[in-house]
Amino acid sequence: MTQARNHDGDHRPTRLFGPRAAAAGRLLPLLITFVIGTVTLLGGAGTAWLPLLAAGPALAASTHGPRGVLGVGLLAAGLGVALGARDGARGAELAAVAAALLAVTCASTLAGDLRSRRERVLADVRSVAEAAQHALLKPVPATVGPFEAAVRYSAAAAEATIGGDLYALVPTPYGVRLIVGDVRGKGLPAVGTAALVLGVFREAAYDEPDLLAVVERIERSLARNLGADDFVTAVIAGFPRPGLLHVVNCGHAPPLLVRASRRIESVEPVPPAPPLGLRALTDQTPGLQELSFADGDQLLLYTDGVIEARDRERAFYPLVEGLARHLSDEPARTLGAVHDELLAHVGGRLHDDAALLLIRKPVPAPSEESQLPSSLTVLAEPAG
């Protein structure tokens, strides 16, 4: 199953097997039954091969519902009795073959029914998970205020659509603000903490003029609700006015600032600050960094699951080099290429949640007047 969740496009998880593979799996029990019957018919082995007909209904339990399993089992039992009678088997032997095949069929039918019930429960759980994903990690539109944006998110847990990584991008009265974070731990507790952080951020981002006050609101909420060993690393950024970027880094991986010239800069935190939820253990407080953000510049925020992804030789994924290779003027295309390369680097399966958020300030299109040739410019003559 592909783990990526593209919040600019399709949200549906990819199936483990395609339609052709699923159809072949459903035909396999019948194929095995007919192969065993043919071998018995042509090989002249008497009743020696007949017990193998039980493989048909047994295999059908993993690919069919109760009716399908029962149909394959009855076919196998009828075929076994017919072949046994053809080879001169006595009544007791035929009864034993039929009883054995019917017993396997009954057990396989029950197993198929249980599997079907579990699949329905799993489908319901997936539906709830998809709803939770949309409520917690809301889709990021392609355009937010004056910016273009894109997100790629992958949950490491099997069959999961959400995990401990979090992100949000919201327009506010104080400019566009965004957060990318990573909750310590995995599973449902991490999801609960991520929901808490995002809820406080979305409310505080609209209320607080100062970005540091937004961070303080999140810190106070986590101090009341987190355990002693729990914390959240996060980068909170904002664009209070055109050309200006504010960044607050709380123990998180440094963002990458891509200039219009395609030079990539790592925004190291100055001064370093502890993760959210651990401020009580240290006297350090986060600082606000002010950076220029001109037309054509881009900002990439990401989580540790990206830069700590390893290949078979245990080498980390080189995010800066990957970003430089796939950089374009379309955030969705850039992140799509980087994410595909990331999955290829790890062999298709991430071992930690991974999130990427890229925001870009487009270059304004030149006005029609500026595109006129200088030879068409007409200067007015002074009145005589």
Q: String of b and e for 146-158 (b: at least 16 CB within 10 Å)?
A: ebbbbbbbbbbbe
- Which tops the pLDDT comparison, 106 or 217? 217
- Which tops the pLDDT comparison, 333 or 71? 333
* Res 116 pLDDT > 60: yes
pLDDT band at 163 (very low <50, low <70, confident <90, very high): low
Report, as an integer, the average pLDDT of 15-32: 62
* Res 223 pLDDT > 80: yes
* Res 340 pLDDT > 50: yes
* Res 55 pLDDT > 70: yes
Contact 352, 305 (CB under 8 A): yes
- Which tops the pLDDT comparison, 102 or 220? 220
Report, as an integer, the average pLDDT of 376-383: 45
* Res 378 pLDDT > 50: no
> How does the average pLDDT of the chain come out, rounded?
80
Which phi and psi angles does 325 have, rounded to 5°? -70, -35
* Res 32 pLDDT > 50: yes
* Res 304 pLDDT > 50: yes
pTM higher than 0.85:
no
Percentage of the chain lying above the pLDDT 70 cut: 77
* Res 61 pLDDT > 80: no
Q: Whole-angstrom Cα distance, residue 173 to residue 12?
A: 34
* Res 92 pLDDT > 70: yes
* Res 16 pLDDT > 90: no
Q: Whole-angstrom Cα distance, residue 198 to residue 195?
A: 5
- Which tops the pLDDT comparison, 293 or 120? 293
Which phi and psi angles does 48 have, rounded to 5°? -65, -35
Which residues neighbour 384 within 8 Å (Cβ) at sequence distance 6 or greater?
Answer: none
| Residue 232 confidence (pLDDT) | 92
- Which tops the pLDDT comparison, 364 or 368? 364
Contact 172, 206 (CB under 8 A): yes
Across the chain, the runs of DSSP E, i.e. the strands, are 4-6, 143-144, 147-154, 165-172, 175-183, 232-238, 243-250, 256-258, 264-266, 289-293, 298-302, 354-360
Percentage of the chain lying above the pLDDT 90 cut: 39
Map out the domains of the chain with their CATH numbers: 4-131 (no CATH), 137-360 (3.60.40.10)
Report, as an integer, the average pLDDT of 315-330: 95
| Residue 248 confidence (pLDDT) | 96
| Residue 264 confidence (pLDDT) | 96
Report, as an integer, the average pLDDT of 229-250: 94
Q: Whole-angstrom Cα distance, residue 18 to residue 170?
A: 37
pLDDT band at 376 (very low <50, low <70, confident <90, very high): very low
Q: How far is CA 353 from the centre of its chain?
A: 8
Which residues neighbour 84 within 8 Å (Cβ) at sequence distance 6 or greater?
Answer: 47, 50, 93, 94, 97
